[in-house]
């Protein structure tokens, strides 16, 4: 059943600027610049730990870690019920995480979900089909189960690639060594056909594993040329942006930061002694925009120059970003137990990319 909730279409000028930290790292670690925010529109508020932003036509769907899906349509917002077969696990960072609409939605009224549940011994993560029945979502087929879970590091991002495959990020579940174990589903980026089968061109034969050696990847985005980038949480600092290649090993827990080891891929860039806690990502005109939880806003990496800058700050923890028609959408995550919620949190915001670009040009 849909439940009506508060909806806002107001503009606010947020003139909060944060000073950048200069990491004591070699040149591979770029300094983050920052500036004042442009006008940002509040689209919706009073969300409950939102996780993923999806858009179909003029309708926005946002899933919440607590188990709901918000539908924003024709100036109204409603919380849609989601019927899952297993109760959500109550461990930190767990819940209803990844959510992505089927590429043929709404003609195919379904989506894919990733959630953490508790069985008799320990929590696990699973990837499922969610079917839209009227105004409610119902769990259908289980595509992949028994993905490692623990107290932390669940991964959970779902995205459909330009190859029409489903990509899934998984964390190491705080058991670091499983990231290097190709037989484990933890600490990986996985790739599957939309029917749940293993693609014939996956790098390790009859395996969902696409890349490994990851700690807790949280965002996926593709360039127009089809290159895949991921965002990943490092240990305390050393957060990473990685260029993902099929079959590659990204080193965790053997190497971090600028460390090197034969057969292991270093990051494109890392945060050095700073902490971004990067999450959802999107790419537009060779600029990678990514949500920053500890970074308290939205950052942008130029894939040409390697420079990272703060394009939006002062919104608290930001979980996901989404770009369509030169508009950047992003959601705050201040009600996740680690933030400091303000009135109306959490919120969905939007801002024209042209405002961000013009602000950069003025510097």
Token couple for 267:
């990051």
Residue 109 contacts residue 37 (beta carbons within 8 Å)? no
In contact, 230 and 252? CB cutoff 8 Å: no
* Cis, bond preceding 106 (omega within 30 deg of 0): yes
Contact assessment for residue 20 and residue 31, using Cβ atoms and an 8 Å cutoff: yes
Tokens 């925009």 found at:
289
Specify the pLDDT at position 358: 53
Q: Quick one: pLDDT at residue 361? A: 47
Task: Give the C-alpha separation, 158 to 103, whole Å.
Answer: 13
> Quick one: DSSP state of residue 180?
G
For residues 130-143, average pLDDT: 97
Q: Is the pLDDT of residue 30 over 90?
A: no
Do 340 and 332 touch, CB atoms closer than 8 A? no
d(CA 221, CA 162): 10
Instruction: Please say whether the beta carbons of 12 and 42 come within 8 A.
Output: yes
Q: Which helix (H) or strand (E) holds 127?
A: strand 123-133
Contact in structure between 88 and 125 (CB atoms under 8 Å): no
Predicted pLDDT at 193: 98
Average pLDDT of the chain to the nearest whole number: 89
pLDDT in tens, 34-71: 445 778 999 999 999 999 999 999 999 999 999 999 99
Please tell me what DSSP assigns to residue 357: H
Q: Are 161 and 222 in contact (CB under 8 A)?
A: yes
* DSSP letter for each residue of 64-113: ETTS-EEEEETTEEEEEPEE-SSPBP-STT-SEEEEEE-TTTTTS-EEEE
Over the stretch 306-331, which tens digit does the pLDDT of each residue have?
A: 999 999 999 999 999 999 999 999 99
Query: Could you count the other beta carbons within 10 Å of the beta carbon of residue 77?
Result: 23
CA angle 234, 238, 240 (to 5 degrees): 70
Residues 6 or more apart from 45 whose CB is under 8 A from it? Answer: 6, 7, 8, 344, 345, 346, 347, 348
Model confidence pLDDT, tens digit, residues 335-360: 998 888 989 999 999 999 999 975 44
Give pTM, 2 decimals: 0.90
Q: Which residue spans within 194-261 are E strands per DSSP? A: 209-212, 217-222, 228-232, 240-244
Q: What is the pLDDT of residues 90-128, one digit of tens each?
A: 888 899 999 999 999 999 999 999 999 988 778 999 999
Which DSSP letter does residue 249 get?
Answer: B
| Cα separation, 178 vs 104, whole angstroms | 35
For residue range 230-262, list pLDDT tens digits in order. Answer: 999 999 899 999 999 999 999 999 999 999 999
How far, in Å, CA of 104 to CA of 108, rounded? 5
């Amino acid at each position: 059943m849909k439940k009506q909730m508060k909806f806002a279409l107001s503009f606010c000028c947020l003139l909060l600027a944060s000073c950048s930290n200069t990491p004591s790292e070699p040149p591979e670690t770029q300094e983050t610049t920052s500036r004042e925010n442009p006008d940002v529109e509040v689209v919706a508020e009073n969300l409950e730990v939102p996780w993923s932003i999806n858009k179909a036509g003029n309708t926005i769907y946002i899933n919440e870690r607590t188990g709901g899906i918000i539908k924003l349509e024709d100036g109204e917002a409603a919380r849609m019920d989601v019927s899952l077969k297993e109760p959500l696990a109550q461990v930190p960072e767990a819940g209803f995480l990844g959510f992505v609409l089927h590429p043929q939605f709404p003609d195919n009224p379904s989506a894919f979900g990733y959630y953490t549940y508790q069985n008799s011994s320990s929590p696990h993560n699973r990837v499922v089909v969610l079917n839209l029945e009227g105004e409610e979502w119902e769990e259908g087929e289980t595509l992949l189960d028994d993905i490692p879970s623990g107290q932390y590091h669940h991964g959970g991002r779902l995205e459909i690639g330009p190859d029409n495959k489903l990509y899934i990020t998984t964390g190491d579940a705080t058991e670091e060594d499983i990231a290097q174990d190709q037989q484990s589903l933890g600490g990986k980026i996985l790739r599957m056909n939309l029917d749940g089968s293993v693609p014939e061109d996956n790098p390790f034969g009859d395996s969902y594993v696409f890349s490994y050696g990851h700690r807790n990847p949280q965002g996926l985005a593709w360039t127009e040329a089809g290159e895949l980038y991921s965002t990943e949480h490092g240990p305390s600092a050393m957060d990473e942006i990685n260029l993902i290649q099929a079959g590659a090993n990204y080193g965790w827990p053997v190497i971090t930061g600028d460390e090197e080891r034969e057969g292991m891929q270093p990051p494109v860039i890392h945060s050095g002694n700073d902490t971004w806690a990067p999450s959802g990502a999107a790419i537009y005109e060779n600029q990678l925009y990514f949500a920053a939880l500890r970074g308290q806003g939205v950052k942008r990496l130029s894939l040409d120059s390697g420079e990272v800058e703060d394009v939006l700050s002062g919104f608290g923890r930001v979980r996901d970003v989404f770009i369509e028609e030169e508009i950047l959408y992003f959601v705050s995550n201040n009600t996740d137990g680690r933030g400091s919620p303000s009135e109306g949190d959490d919120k969905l915001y939007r801002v024209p990319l042209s405002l961000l670009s013009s602000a950069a040009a003025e510097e």
